[in-house]
Amino acid sequence: MRYWLMKSEPSEVSIDDLASLPGQSIAWYGVRNYQARNFMRDQMRVGDMVFFYHSSCAEPGIAGIAVVDKLAYPDETQFDPAGKYFDPKATRENPRWYNVDVRFLKKTPLISISELRRHPELESMRILQKGNRLSITPVDPSEWDYINRALLG
DNA sequence: GCCAACGTTGGC
DNA sequence: GCCAACGTTGGC
């Protein structure tokens, strides 16, 4: 089992949005970066644990915990010519983008990025590196444990 | 709104 | 296959 951090803009899908969905599960659609796609397609397994991170907003930070609910499958939004995630180079026979489903587990007190930066134990987290833009990053088990114990305990 | 950092595109 | 130009991300 692996641990991940997945960014979502709360204006798109917030932790509250996820919690109020029927089944509390959602396709992690819209990823258009190959590295992030590969993490979903090649490495994520059902049961992997996820920090749900709010990005591009007033209070960026970890807002909740989710779990991978369904293995990666083609992202439906790449096929919709009217949608903003449409990819003209993708076909049903040869999809380019994949997503997993993620299910709500719990909301947490918001752990802001500045709070995360305050802890030397977390300084190697991808999310805290200069210039990091990846929307999906692996989280080290020791970092996962530390955050749960020291910040959410 | 700024801007550094990064990924992608396309001409050559 | 190089690399300049461009578009995007995302914290501040």
Domain limits, chain A? 3-145
Strand B reaches within 7 A of the A86 CB: no
Q: Quick check: A56 and A102 in contact, CB under 8 A? A: no
The SS3 call for residue A116 is helix
Which pLDDT belongs to residue A71? 98
pLDDT value, residue A122:
97
Which pLDDT value is given to residue A110?
Answer: 97
Phi-psi category of A47—alpha, beta or left, where left has phi over 0 and alpha has psi -120 to 50? left
Residue with token string 């796609």: A37
Q: Which nucleotide is nearest to A131 (CA to C1')?
A: B5
pLDDT for A153? 86
**pTM for the full predicted model:** 0.95
**Closest nucleotide to residue A9 (Cα to C1')?**
C10
CATH architecture of A3-145: Roll (3.10)
The whole-number pLDDT of residue A4 equals: 98
Please answer whether residues A126 and A134 qualify as being in contact, where contact means their C-beta atoms are separated by less than 8 angstroms: yes
Q: Whose CA is nearest the C1' atom of nucleotide B5?
A: A131
**Nucleotide in closest CA–C1' contact with A130:** B5
Nucleotides of C under 7 A from a protein CB: 8-12
Q: Could you read off the pLDDT tens digit of each residue along chain A, which spans 153 residues?
A: 999 999 999 999 999 999 999 999 999 999 999 999 999 999 999 999 999 999 999 999 999 999 999 999 999 999 999 889 999 889 999 999 999 999 999 999 999 999 999 999 999 999 999 999 999 999 999 999 999 999 998
pLDDT at position A50 is 98
